[in-house]
């Protein structure tokens, strides 16, 4: 029997302006078993916004909705809407350090209010049957001790009932650093996350931050339950074609990148018919052929032409012709 593990064993991180529904549909062509995340969506946008912030395609499953918010009632209402729409998990953002997020009293600043986080988690768990998880950091500002992290996890798990934590292995500076700098400057401390799993063996602990290869993911999986990959998965999505085999034990052949592009055609045509611009979809596909001769030409052709009026499947085919015959054939 093929050993397929739970989806949280490997996931692609929620990334603002990146992991939209077009991106997730594309990534699903590369890996069938990985857990995908939406961009962070605020409770206010879902409840009061004019757009459909929960739009997604069922073929993206399994997908987790990441919420930003602090009010228990609003979180519960959004979780209920997400469950009705078929999402597979609700994740609360307790890790984003941007000023805009702090002003809304959500994101990483909530690490300093574990009782509030626990209330929100409990309210969602009381309302839905979906897993409700937390993505957080190892600390904030001067509150960077291991005891601080343990106190947060203990309170949110015991009072809120949260059973799964995704830990970005960096602390967050709530002022003085931009969100981009907060992803790079605070040093990574993987050992602290490993220790957390040892001290809370009954909880599901996933690690996030700086993971650049599946080999690194395998090392982490010797210590924790899951690995979340962010920027590398987006910028070099081709590596996701190996995830199902390498990390989930699937015996299905790795996805072929040319076949992946062509598998997108029905989706692209359906979206173009709705008025979506080709570039809104293909911008997520630019890194697919990284490391393969012709990859630069592929990127350039799409970057220069996908936003032009009338850009369509033919535009993608033209880009594909610049790289398809240069891909080594499997022996």
Between 216 and 331, whose confidence is greater? Answer: 216
pLDDT > 90 fraction of the chain, expressed in percent and rounded? 85
What does the pLDDT average to over 158-178? 91
What does the pLDDT average to over 244-255? 95
Structure confidence by residue, pLDDT tens digits, 183-207: 777 889 999 999 999 999 999 999 9
Residue 329, pLDDT > 60, answer: no
Q: What is the model's pLDDT at position 108?
A: 85
| Number of CB atoms found within 10 A of residue 198's CB | 10
Residue 1, pLDDT > 60, answer: no
With beta carbons less than 8 A apart as the criterion, state whether 27 and 237 touch: yes
Q: And the tokens for 181?
A: 């700098």
3 state SS of 164: strand
Residue 180, pLDDT > 90, answer: no
What does the pLDDT average to over 211-218? 98
> Shortest CA distance to 298 belongs to which of 253, 242, 243, 238?
238
Distance between CA atoms of residues 144 and 229, nearest Å: 23
Distance between CA atoms of residues 32 and 30, nearest Å: 7
Residue 71, pLDDT > 90, answer: yes
Q: And the tokens for 37?
A: 């995340």
pLDDT band at 269 (very low <50, low <70, confident <90, very high): very high
Catalytic residues: 96
Structure confidence by residue, pLDDT tens digits, 73-116: 999 999 999 999 999 999 999 988 766 555 667 788 899 999 99
Give 118's contacts (C-beta < 8 A, 6+ positions apart).
155, 156, 158, 159, 160, 162
Q: What sign has the CA pseudo-torsion 248, 251, 256, 261?
A: negative
Distance between CA atoms of residues 118 and 136, nearest Å: 13
CA atoms within 13 A on the CB side of 255: 26
Q: What is the model's pLDDT at position 331?
A: 32
Q: What is the model's pLDDT at position 220?
A: 98
Q: What is the crossing angle of helices 313-321 and 295-305, to 10°?
A: 160
Give 107's contacts (C-beta < 8 A, 6+ positions apart).
68, 93, 94, 95, 96, 97, 98, 101
pLDDT band at 330 (very low <50, low <70, confident <90, very high): very low
Arithmetic mean of pLDDT over the chain? 93
pLDDT > 70 fraction of the chain, expressed in percent and rounded? 95
Structure confidence by residue, pLDDT tens digits, 109-149: 899 999 999 999 999 999 999 999 999 999 998 899 999 99
With beta carbons less than 8 A apart as the criterion, state whether 166 and 228 touch: yes
Helices (H), the chain: 21-28, 43-48, 72-84, 99-103, 114-127, 146-160, 179-182, 190-199, 214-220, 231-235, 243-248, 257-263, 265-273, 278-282, 295-305, 313-321
With beta carbons less than 8 A apart as the criterion, state whether 223 and 192 touch: no
What does the pLDDT average to over 270-276? 96
Residue 168, pLDDT > 90, answer: yes
């Amino acid at each position: 029997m093929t050993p397929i593990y739970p989806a949280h064993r490997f996931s692609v991180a929620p990334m603002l302006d990146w992991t939209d529904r077009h991106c997730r549909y594309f990534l699903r062509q590369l890996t069938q078993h990985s857990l995908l995340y939406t961009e962070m969506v605020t409770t206010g946008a879902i409840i009061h916004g004019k757009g459909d912030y929960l739009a997604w395609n069922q073929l993206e499953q399994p997908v987790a909705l990441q919420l930003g918010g602090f009010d228990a009632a609003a979180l519960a209402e959004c979780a209920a809407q997400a469950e009705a729409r078929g999402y597979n998990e609700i994740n609360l953002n307790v890790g984003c350090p941007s000023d805009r997020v702090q002003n809304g009293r959500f994101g990483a600043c909530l690490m300093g209010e574990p009782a509030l986080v626990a209330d929100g988690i409990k309210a969602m768990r009381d309302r839905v049957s979906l897993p409700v998880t937390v993505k957080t950091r190892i600390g904030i500002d001067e509150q960077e001790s291991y005891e601080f992290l343990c106190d947060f996890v203990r309170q949110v798990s015991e009072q809120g009932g949260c059973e799964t934590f995704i830990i970005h292995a960096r602390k967050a500076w709530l002022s003085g650093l931009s969100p981009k700098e907060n992803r790079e400057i605070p040093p990574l401390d993987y050992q602290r996350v490993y220790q957390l799993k040892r001290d809370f063996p009954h909880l599901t602990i996933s690690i996030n931050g700086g993971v650049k290869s599946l080999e690194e993911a395998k090392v982490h999986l010797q210590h924790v339950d899951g690995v979340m990959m962010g920027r590398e998965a987006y910028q070099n999505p081709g590596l996701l074609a190996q995830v199902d085999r390498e990390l989930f034990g699937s015996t299905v052949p790795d996805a072929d990148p040319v076949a992946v592009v062509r598998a997108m055609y029905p989706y692209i045509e359906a979206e173009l018919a709705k008025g979506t611009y080709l570039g809104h979809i293909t911008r997520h596909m630019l890194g697919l052929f990284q490391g393969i001769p012709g990859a630069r030409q592929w990127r350039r052709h799409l970057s220069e032409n996908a936003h032009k009026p009338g850009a369509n499947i033919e535009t993608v085919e033209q880009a594909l012709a610049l790289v398809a015959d240069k891909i080594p054939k499997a022996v």
